[in-house]
Amino acid sequence: MKLQESPRSPASITQLLWFFGIATVVKLLLIPAYYSTDLEVHRHWLAITHSLPLGQWYYDETSEWTLDYPPFFAYFERFLSFFAPLIDPWIVHLHHGLSYKADSSIYFQRISVIVSDLFLQYGVHISTRNLASLKRNLVWVFVIWSPGLLIVDHLHFQYNGFLFGWLLLSISFLAQGRDLMGGFMFAVLLCFKHLFAVAAPVYFVYLLRHYCRGGLVRGFARLSVLGAIVVAVFAAAYGPFVYHGQIQQVIRRMFPFGRGLCHAYWAPNFWVFYIVLDKGIAFLLRKFGFDIPSPVASFTGGLVGDASPFAVLPRITPMTTFIMVLLALSPCLFKTWRYPRPRLIARSVAYAYTCGFLFGWHIHEKASLHISIPLALVAVESLEDSKHYFLLSVVSCYSLFPLIYEAQEYPIKVLLLLLLLHTILMWFCFSALFPKIIGTKGSLQSDKKATQSDSKGISRTAAEKQWFELGWVAKSYLLGVVVVETWGQFLHPYLLGDKLPFLPLMLISMYCAIGISYSWIWQLKRIIILS
Amino acid sequence: MKKKGEMKKVKKVKGKVHDGEHDDPWWSLVQNGIKPSFLCISIFALLVRVAVGLHPYSGANTPPKFGDYEAQRHWMEITLNLQPKDWYRNSSVNDLSYWGLDYPPLTAYQSYIHGVFLKTFDPDSVALFTSGGYESYIGKLLMRWTVLSSDVLVFFPASLYFVFVYSIRLGTGRNSDVAWHISMVLLNPCLILIDHGHFQYNCISLGLTMAAIAAVLSQKDLVASVLYCLALNHKQMSAYFAPAFFSYLLGKCLKNKNPLVDLAKLGLMVIGTFAVVWWPYLQSKEAALTVISRLAPFERGIYEDYVANFWCTSSVLVKWKKLYTTQSSRIFSLTATLLTCLPSMVQQVLVPSRKGFLYALLNSSFSFYLFSYQVHEKSILLPLLPLALLALEERRSLLWLTHFAMFSMLPLLHRDKLILPYMAIYTLFILVYFAPDGPGARCNGSKTLDHSPKKTRRGMEFISFIAFHPFVMGFLGLCSLILHVIYLTMHPPNRYPFLFEAVIMLICFSQFVLFTLYFNSKQWMLSKHVTSQDKQKLI
């Protein structure tokens, strides 16, 4: 009777540790692999927080990699910097340490990421402890063995796993009805990395409607408790800087709007279409004899200055993107307002991140993890979810490919993607095989699904033997990934040589943008149906 | 209790489902048969191999001699630029004292193919003369990829073939056990470290051997003999398995109606394979003899470094190298090897059986490792292959011996700066071995023990009592752990610079000898078991 085993049984923790162990081994083996400048960025932050007093953290300009994360992350770096000098004092030396690439430094930082991932394990453990064992294993695979996380954290180098631990904790607390804890965790997360703030409207609306209810007085009392907690968290983070009178400087560092609409490599979002459309129209107009001046700043040239990078279409300002994100988010906010259901919170949060990803300002492709990690929690709920998640995770993993561009790591990323494809396919085969047994027995959802599949013309017997199979559109889309990759890696250099060097990357981001847009619409539809 | 009803439904949906499979968390992964799980495991195994390949290779940045990496690269250079007849001959263009080719022709051909591959992408790395000690980012990458591709093309299909055959002929039927078996074969830590870390192509010869074993198990003796000859022609060390193949096939032929015809067929296959592989050297007697003399490097002495075999270990007491000439030590080692192989050979000639054959492979390769001439630390890979193939039978031994095999290679891998992958891969092996509810975690001895008549068990019991006594195992395990720490953190005393290596060697040797005895007795017990069964049938 494994299905009924108590969720807190030691066996499940051993199993979780087993999954973690396997992931850790791979991470350890990847230590000598390629790393991006982010390694130096984080090393410099270690040095800043270690050698300077708190008052100077956000003013220091010894290196171009200034501290631009919120204070909790700075404290986190400060915490790590206690251990770094034990390994090698040069790691935390403000001046000698610049671009310090000794093994000691790399090992220390890589291992600090691996150890901080323990928090992700904790988050996963808390958020899956009420699931049946098979579903639990699936979620573990998606989160702990997430190739995207591996690429971003352990090749490219960042501390996302640790941060996702907080996010998962927060979501699972909300889903379990412990609203205060959920809100607290999210506030903490925001003080670690403000990019997570895109989901703040969802949290706000949800907590307002779900937690602060029960009449005017009680609701107001609860609102004040919640507000006090959030304020306390923010005070803990920003208090010292307010005390030093530096809050403006901190905020200026954290929101560098001077950067362009798109990152050097275009994240696969809506703006890719916009740029391509602009270029296409300009090209056509020139063909017809109109005199269209080429934009001063170009997207392919990296960072963008003040000049408008568009030839024809109107210029996009941060405000425009902000409004677009809010607009895209509004149906979800509305639904959350009407039906604040704990069951849907993971979806709403993921949806908010999808909106932010698609329409946001200066979005980095790494942000696609913000969608795929929270969605992993609900990917096992039904067959449709699993199908969608399969597509989404492949797209989000593939969109990370350009991060790792050296030949040495090429097989690694391809194998990771294949592993992802394969594991997910197989595990879904199973989870989809018995949708009713381990699935949503007794809930409204399964009935709905049955009627849905009936309306689609699938006979009842077929619905019982549901098999994880993608439609031809999804299949050909995934096949297209192979084509795009083959073009970019092999055919393009072979056929065109050095001409149009940006084309392969542009193709990747355009192609992935299609997938992410699909996922956006699908998620919206799902939220509307389910609430 | 609601769930119970549901589970019954599950059983109806899938008629084949056995009882107890719901306790099996891996069932979802393996429900569709072996192939999907094989694909999954092999992708993971490949990923691990690529990741190990990121680490340094043997002899990186250590002129003038470098290491095995340079040897392999040099062979590519030689085979690519010279005529086959010059490959093994010392000449002005081929200095045999600098990593001269000393493996059989198949390795040379393989080097040639890989050389062509390297030449297309990085011509400098295999240019004649100028490429000596060539090291570069892209060069390392291409070389690593040649090993990876050999692994994928030879070792992986061979292991699929083997596991497929094994699970049909000898298996227990639980799919998750089969998956576990596959991962034990593919994630053998020693092989990964030597091939993808240290840099060698053991995967080819071992893969061919494994395919030959699988062919034997599926009764395709002629195919098996061809495959085994290919393995032998890739690496002469594959001869470690020769007694087992020879005695099993001989025993089987003798049981047939026309033993001579069968033997002749096998002989023709062997001779034919050899003739094809050796074709360029069969033009003259002299050419063939040159190659043969290259393949048997007797001048290197009876042992090298600190290998955990009999000659090296006993040299603490008896200085073999000083006391005896090469000639006499050759005779010693040959006699000792043959004598220790003999019991298992006799058993297979008398009662050839599939399981017995696997044990015979294990025993003969251990005999060779312990007693043959010029054994290297890396040779422990050869006994580990049949052990991994017997993973489901010999669970505890697999874990224990893999531990000591790794341990015996610690000094070698430490020299290669592969300690991080050493620890990581070892942990991975332990984790996979103890996969939740996998066969390793369920460790419950072997089944054959329980059914065999009591009399035959006594000797066996004594050995396994020593080998598997919790106190002995705990003590040795602790010792080896402490030694790991000591070896990696402390400097040996100046008077005995190789003290730690010697201690490691002694411990490993003791275990290897003990387990050779254990496996030999087990093989003999198998035959008694078989005969007693036959008798029962007759009655």
B446 pLDDT above the threshold of 60: no
Model pLDDT, residue B302: 79
The residue of chain A with its CA nearest to that of B25 is: A134
Contact A369, A164 (CB under 8 A): yes
Nearest by Cα to B301 from B321, B276, B324: B321
Banded pLDDT at A458 (limits 50, 70, 90) = very low
Banded pLDDT at A438 (limits 50, 70, 90) = very low
Contact A389, A107 (CB under 8 A): no
Cβ distance of B43 and A415 shorter than 8 Å: yes
Residue B489 buriedness (CB in 10 A; 0-12 / 13-18 / 19+): exposed
Model pLDDT, residue B437: 72
Cβ distance of B40 and A426 shorter than 8 Å: yes
Among partner residues B43, B48, B55, which is closest to A422 by beta-carbon distance?
B43
Rounded to 5°, the CA angle A444-A450-A451 comes to 90
User: What is the full DSSP assignment across A35-76?
Assistant: --THHHHHHHHHHHHHHS-GGGTTT--SSS----S-HHHHHH
Mutate to test the interface with B, among A35, A426, A429 (most CBs of B within 10 A): A426
Alpha carbon B477 to chain centroid distance? Answer: 23
For residue A526, the number of C-alpha atoms closer than 13 Å in the C-beta half-sphere is: 26
What radius of gyration, in Å, describes the C-alpha atoms of chain A?
24
Question: Looking at the DSSP assignment, which residues form a beta bridge with residue A262?
Answer: A363
Q: Mind telling me how many Å the CA of A42 is from chain B's nearest CA?
A: 23
The residue of chain A with its CA nearest to that of B32 is: A426
Q: Which of the listed ranges B469-473, B509-513, B529-533 does the model predict with the highest average pLDDT?
A: B509-513
B10 pLDDT above the threshold of 60: no
Tokens standing for B500?
């730690």
Cβ distance of A426 and B36 shorter than 8 Å: yes
Banded pLDDT at B103 (limits 50, 70, 90) = very high
User: What is the full DSSP assignment across A103-122?
Assistant: HHHHHHHHHHHHHHHHHHHH
Model pLDDT, residue B61: 85
> A-B interface: how many C-beta pairs under 8 angstroms?
110
Cβ distance of B32 and A429 shorter than 8 Å: yes
Tokens standing for B227?
């495959």
What are the residue ranges spanned by the domains of chain B?
A: 31-61+135-439+458-528
Q: Which residue has the tokens 């250590």?
A: B62
B457 pLDDT above the threshold of 80: no
- Tens-place pLDDT, residues A54-81: 888 998 888 888 888 999 999 999 999 9
User: Looking at beta carbons, which residues of chain B come within 8 Å of A422?
Assistant: 36, 39-40, 43
Q: Mind telling me how many Å the CA of B50 is from chain A's nearest CA?
A: 7
Among partner residues B10, B25, B55, which is closest to A32 by beta-carbon distance?
B55
Q: Mind telling me how many Å the CA of B192 is from chain A's nearest CA?
A: 12
Cβ distance of B48 and A29 shorter than 8 Å: yes
What radius of gyration, in Å, describes the C-alpha atoms of chain B?
24
Interface of A with B (CB under 8 A): 1-4, 11, 14-15, 18, 21-22, 24-26, 28-33, 133-134, 137, 407-408, 411-412, 415-416, 418-419, 422-423, 426-427, 429-431, 433-434, 437, 441, 464-465
Contact A142, A393 (CB under 8 A): yes
Model pLDDT, residue B223: 95
Banded pLDDT at B439 (limits 50, 70, 90) = confident
- Tens-place pLDDT, residues A10-47: 678 888 999 999 999 999 999 999 999 999 999 999 99
Mutate to test the interface with A, among B41, B50, B186, B423 (most CBs of A within 10 A): B50
The residue of chain B with its CA nearest to that of A413 is: B47
Contact B34, B175 (CB under 8 A): yes
A322 — phi, psi (to 5°)?
-60, -45
Contacts of A188 (CB under 8 A, 6+ apart): A72, A166, A233
A141 pLDDT above the threshold of 90: no
Cβ distance of A32 and B9 shorter than 8 Å: no
Cα distance between residue A89 and residue A102, in whole Å: 12
Model pLDDT, residue B327: 83
Among partner residues A408, A423, A437, which is closest to B141 by beta-carbon distance?
A408
- Tens-place pLDDT, residues B282-296: 888 888 888 888 888
Q: One-letter amino acid identity for B223?
A: V
* Average pLDDT over all residues of chain B: 85
Banded pLDDT at A451 (limits 50, 70, 90) = very low
Cβ distance of B3 and A412 shorter than 8 Å: no
The residue of chain A with its CA nearest to that of B42 is: A419
Per-residue pLDDT, averaged over B70-77, amounts to 93
- Tens-place pLDDT, residues A503-517: 888 899 999 999 999
Tokens standing for A495?
């056929």
Cβ distance of B40 and A418 shorter than 8 Å: no
Q: Mind telling me how many Å the CA of A282 is from chain B's nearest CA?
A: 41
Banded pLDDT at A466 (limits 50, 70, 90) = low
Q: ipTM, 2 decimals? A: 0.87
Per-residue pLDDT, averaged over B152-163, amounts to 94
The residue of chain A with its CA nearest to that of B5 is: A437
- Cβ count within 10 A of residue A113: 20
Tokens standing for A161?
């796993």
Cα distance between the two ends of chain B: 49
User: By percentage, how much of chain A surpasses pLDDT 90?
Assistant: 40
User: What is the full DSSP assignment across B229-242?
Assistant: HHHHHH-GGGGGGH
The residue of chain A with its CA nearest to that of B50 is: A412
Average the pLDDT over each of A454-463, A482-491, B9-18, B129-138 and give the range with the smallest value.
Answer: B9-18
Q: Hey, what's the torsion of the CAs at A321, A323, A327, A328, to 10 degrees?
A: 20
Per-residue pLDDT, averaged over A304-331, amounts to 81
Q: Mind telling me how many Å the CA of A349 is from chain B's nearest CA?
A: 30
Q: One-letter amino acid identity for A505?
A: L
- Tens-place pLDDT, residues B231-275: 999 999 999 999 999 999 999 999 888 889 999 999 999 999 999
pTM score = 0.88
Residue B417 buriedness (CB in 10 A; 0-12 / 13-18 / 19+): middle
Mutate to test the interface with B, among A415, A441, A464 (most CBs of B within 10 A): A415
Among partner residues A1, A31, A137, which is closest to B25 by beta-carbon distance?
A137
A230 pLDDT above the threshold of 80: yes
Nearest by Cα to B97 from B292, B289, B299, B301: B299
Contacts of A8 (CB under 8 A, 6+ apart): A129
Nearest by Cα to B441 from A21, A14, A137: A14
Q: Mind telling me how many Å the CA of A474 is from chain B's nearest CA?
A: 21
Model pLDDT, residue A426: 64
Contact A213, A338 (CB under 8 A): no
Contact A379, A389 (CB under 8 A): yes
User: Looking at beta carbons, which residues of chain B come within 8 Å of A416?
Assistant: 47
